[in-house]
């Protein structure tokens, strides 16, 4: 049976409405019952949203009602979950976060004992338990705080990048008022960088509000105004990063991945090719072809990139949005680690002088709609015609969001003018239909 609650990255919705405390409790209970361990040890971490504490408590109630023990790890970036699973041998981890979404949204995603997010089949079984009759369980679990989790995560980053000396590097970090607001600046300082921060004062409601990787223009302006060498913008849960060079030019995930590919290949740590999604710029594929690096293309979503990496035994993959997975560190996107990998790849050089790839002009518009199905039905034919007209010169990709009521229209063309014209025509169709 198809999943009804789980999207491409867990269960998301407006906190207190779609994602209620009752649903969080039910999800915690069902995921624990599905866990094969006799008395599951379940880690729970969260970002800085005001609803996080409520959902954390409800999840914990569900886990303990199913006979599991809960370890509360506090506010941490999402990639800390698989790292702590490996360190402590947890049977399951739950992350309470809606990533780059506004504060009134929240979400719950699960990691299994192997450190990977639950598979589609596993999530389907969790939903089957939710739909089924209640199972009485006389064994009640316990809840306790897990101290030192931030230090555990910082130590893992320091160990991975112990050869990276950032003395003399002036970096600006935008922490999106989210989960990286403490650990992000701290690890850069420990590695020797001069660190300035924005978006590092969470109040429960300001997460992603005009800051972070979804508002990277704020970082770009601040880098230039402050005379910094470069800057990095994380998203709310810390699994993505975008950058800005000293001139204020934004560096997206495609360029960051290209830099990392060439660096890891030089270091003989690439392990083969690279996995990216259908959203990846055509210029990336050109650069990889010229470098002799094999590219696997997947559907949008880090889970699909990760599946390709596991299947092929490769080390690196990611998305244009800045969700970059380095299997040599953790099987999840990690914005802080990806930022440090970028600096490692530069080998003391200037991000403004990068030459990893040449981007084709691209325009991406997120169209908010009331009916994704109707909007997609109206635009599919015109999108195919526009794509055919760009054959050999560019491309068109139109797809519904897996987590929001959006239709995403993406166009690449040889010139910015043609790109904008094609995109405008398709957006008008979506807006009229949706």
CB contact at 8 A, 246 and 229? yes
375: tokens are: 């909007």
Task: Assign residue 53 the CATH number of its domain.
Answer: 3.40.120.10
* Residues of the chain falling short of pLDDT 70: 1-2
Contacts of 275 (CB under 8 A, 6+ apart): 295, 296, 297, 298, 305, 308, 309, 312, 314, 316, 317, 318
* pLDDT recorded at residue 192: 98
pTM of the model: 0.90
Domain identity same for 21 and 140: yes
DSSP label of 268: T
* pLDDT recorded at residue 4: 84
* pLDDT recorded at residue 300: 85
Domain identity same for 213 and 166: yes
168: tokens are: 């003399």
Domain assignment present for residue 281? The answer is yes
Contacts 24+ apart (CB under 8 A), 120-128: 120/3, 120/6, 122/34, 123/3, 123/6, 124/1, 124/2, 124/3, 125/34, 126/6, 126/27, 126/30, 126/31, 126/34, 127/1, 127/3, 127/4, 127/5, 127/6, 127/30, 128/1
Number of domains in the chain: 3
Mapping DSSP to helix (H, G, I), strand (E, B) and coil, where does residue 149 land? helix
Q: Is 168 left (phi over 0), alpha (psi -120 to 50) or beta?
A: left
371: tokens are: 């009916």
Q: What is the dihedral of CA 58, 62, 67, 68, to 10 degrees?
A: -60
Domain assignment present for residue 1? The answer is no
Domain assignment present for residue 41? The answer is yes
Domain identity same for 23 and 76: yes
For the purposes of burial, counting CB atoms within 10 Å of the CB of 116, is it exposed (0-12), middle (13-18) or buried (19 or more)? middle
Domain span at residue 377 reads: 362-433
Domain assignment present for residue 274? The answer is yes
Rounded to 5 degrees, φ, ψ at 406 are -135, 150
* pLDDT recorded at residue 9: 85
27: tokens are: 């999800």
Domain assignment present for residue 417? The answer is yes
* pLDDT recorded at residue 134: 77
Domain identity same for 161 and 131: no
Select from 146, 180, 197 the last residue of a domain: 146
Select from 146, 170, 191 the last residue of a domain: 146
Is the Cα dihedral 59, 61, 62, 66 positive or negative? positive
The per-residue pLDDT for range 132-164, each reduced to its tens digit, is 887 777 789 999 999 999 999 999 999 999 999
Distance CA 261, CA 275 (A): 10
The per-residue pLDDT for range 85-109, each reduced to its tens digit, is 999 999 999 999 999 999 999 999 9
278: tokens are: 């259908």
The per-residue pLDDT for range 408-428, each reduced to its tens digit, is 999 999 899 999 999 999 999
Domain identity same for 43 and 135: yes
Nearest-5° angle of CA 26, CA 180, CA 150? 80
* pLDDT recorded at residue 47: 98
Task: Assign residue 387 the CATH number of its domain.
Answer: 3.30.310.50
Domain identity same for 117 and 85: yes
Select from 353, 371, 402 the last residue of a domain: 353
* pLDDT recorded at residue 410: 93
Contacts of 110 (CB under 8 A, 6+ apart): 10, 31, 92, 93, 94, 95, 117, 118, 123, 126
Is the Cα dihedral 399, 79, 311, 241 positive or negative? positive
CB contact at 8 A, 321 and 240? yes
Closest alpha carbon to 355 in 279, 293, 223, 262: 262
Q: Which of 99, 213, 321, 338 is catalytic?
A: 99
Domain identity same for 73 and 178: no
* pLDDT recorded at residue 1: 53
Domain assignment present for residue 429? The answer is yes
**H helices of 147-252, where?**
149-160, 183-190, 216-226
Which run of H or of E encompasses 311? helix 302-312
Closest alpha carbon to 112 in 37, 54, 8: 37
Domain identity same for 298 and 388: no
Distance CA 334, CA 78 (A): 8
Distance of CA 11 to the CA centre of its chain: 14
What string of DSSP letters covers 323-391?
-EEETTT-SSB-HHHHHHHHHHHHTT--GGG--S--PPPEEEEEEE-S-HHHHHHHHHHHHHHHHHHTT
Domain identity same for 165 and 243: yes
CB contact at 8 A, 213 and 320? no
Domain identity same for 194 and 284: yes
Domain identity same for 293 and 346: yes
Domain assignment present for residue 2? The answer is no
Domain identity same for 137 and 210: no
Is 51 marked active-site?
Answer: no
* pLDDT recorded at residue 138: 76
Domain assignment present for residue 5? The answer is no
* pLDDT recorded at residue 2: 63
């Amino acid at each position: 049976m198809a999943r009804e609650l789980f999207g491409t990255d867990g269960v998301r919705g407006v906190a207190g409405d779609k994602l209620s405390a009752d649903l969080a409790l039910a999800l915690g209970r069902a995921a624990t019952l599905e866990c094969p361990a006799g008395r599951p040890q379940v880690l729970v971490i969260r970002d800085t949203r005001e609803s996080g504490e409520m959902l954390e408590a409800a999840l914990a109630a569900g886990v303990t009602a199913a006979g599991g023990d809960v370890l509360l790890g506090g506010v941490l970036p999402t990639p800390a979950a698989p790292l702590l699973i490996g360190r402590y041998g947890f049977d399951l981890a739950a992350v309470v976060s809606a990533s780059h979404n506004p504060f009134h949204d929240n979400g719950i995603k699960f990691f299994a004992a192997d450190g990977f997010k639950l598979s589609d089949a596993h999530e389907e079984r969790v939903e089957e338990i939710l739909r089924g009759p209640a199972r009485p369980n006389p064994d009640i679990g316990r809840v306790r705080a897990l101290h030192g989790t931030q230090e555990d995560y910082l130590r893992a980053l320091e160990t991975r990048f112990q050869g990276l000396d950032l003395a003399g590097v002036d970096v600006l970090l935008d922490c999106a008022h989210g989960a990286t607001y403490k650990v992000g600046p701290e690890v850069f300082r420990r590695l020797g960088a001069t660190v300035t921060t924005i978006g590092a004062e969470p109040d429960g409601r300001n997460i992603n509000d005009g800051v972070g990787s979804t508002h990277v223009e704020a970082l770009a302006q601040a880098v230039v105004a402050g005379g910094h060498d470069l800057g990095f913008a994380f998203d709310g849960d810390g699994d993505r990063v975008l950058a800005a060079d000293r001139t204020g030019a934004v560096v997206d995930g495609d360029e960051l991945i290209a830099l990392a590919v060439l660096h890891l290949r030089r270091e003989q740590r690439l392990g083969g090719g690279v996995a990216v999604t259908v959203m990846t710029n055509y210029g990336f594929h050109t650069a990889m072809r010229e470098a002799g690096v094999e590219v696997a293309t997947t559907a949008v979503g880090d889970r699909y990139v990760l599946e390709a990496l596991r299947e092929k035994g490769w080390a690196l993959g990611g998305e244009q949005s800045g969700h970059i997975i380095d299997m040599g560190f953790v099987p999840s996107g990690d914005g802080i680690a990806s930022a440090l990998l970028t600096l490692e790849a530069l080998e003391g050089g200037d991000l403004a002088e990068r030459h990893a790839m040449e981007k084709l002009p691209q325009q991406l518009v997120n169209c908010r709609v009331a009916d994704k199905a109707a909007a997609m039905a109206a635009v599919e034919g015109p999108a195919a015609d526009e794509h055919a007209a760009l054959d050999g010169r560019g491309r068109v990709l139109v797809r519904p969001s897996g987590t929001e009521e959006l239709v995403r229209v993406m166009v690449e063309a040889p010139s910015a003018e043609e790109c904008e014209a094609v995109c405008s025509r398709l957006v008008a169709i979506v807006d009229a239909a949706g």
